[in-house]
A = this chain, B = another copy of it.
Amino acid sequence: MGLAKTEMFTDQQNKISLFAKVFGHPARVAILQHLFKIDSCVCGDLVNEIGLAQPTISQHLKELKHLGLIKGNVEGTSVCYCIHKENWTVMKTIMTEFLNQDLSENQDCC
């Protein structure tokens, strides 16, 4: 985050921006959409699905996992990744609250 300090902002603001940041790359959006579309998934599928190299996909998966939005279980030589439903729901609540801030009360000053 450059030189800015998280202490300058509220916990809520920091949480929102952390979730948003992870959605701020189309590859991670595509990974999540693919995980939603199918039941289970291995990393290799994603490498084929998305046109990026295996280490790159692995790195994106790591970020998603670190934020708790996905989980991965080792299954033989491959890894089964899927959406972490409980955490996704928590994230959705936080993001939706931010997106649904009420517009109607404000005068349109501009």
Please give the residue numbers on chain A whose beta carbons come within 8 Å of chain B beta carbons, in ascending order.
1, 4, 6, 8-10, 13-14, 16-17, 20-30, 32-33, 36, 38-40, 50-52, 71-73, 80-83, 85, 88-89, 91-92, 95-96, 98-103, 106-110
Are B82's CB and A33's CB within 8 A? no
Distance, CA A31 to CA B38, complexed state (A): 38
Are A13's CB and B39's CB within 8 A? no
Given the known A-B contacts A96-B96, A102-B36, are A16 and B23 also in contact in the complex, defined by CB atoms under 8 Å? Answer: yes
9 contacts between A and B (CB under 8 A): A4-B52, A8-B26, A8-B50, A20-B23, A33-B98, A36-B101, A38-B106, A39-B107, A95-B95
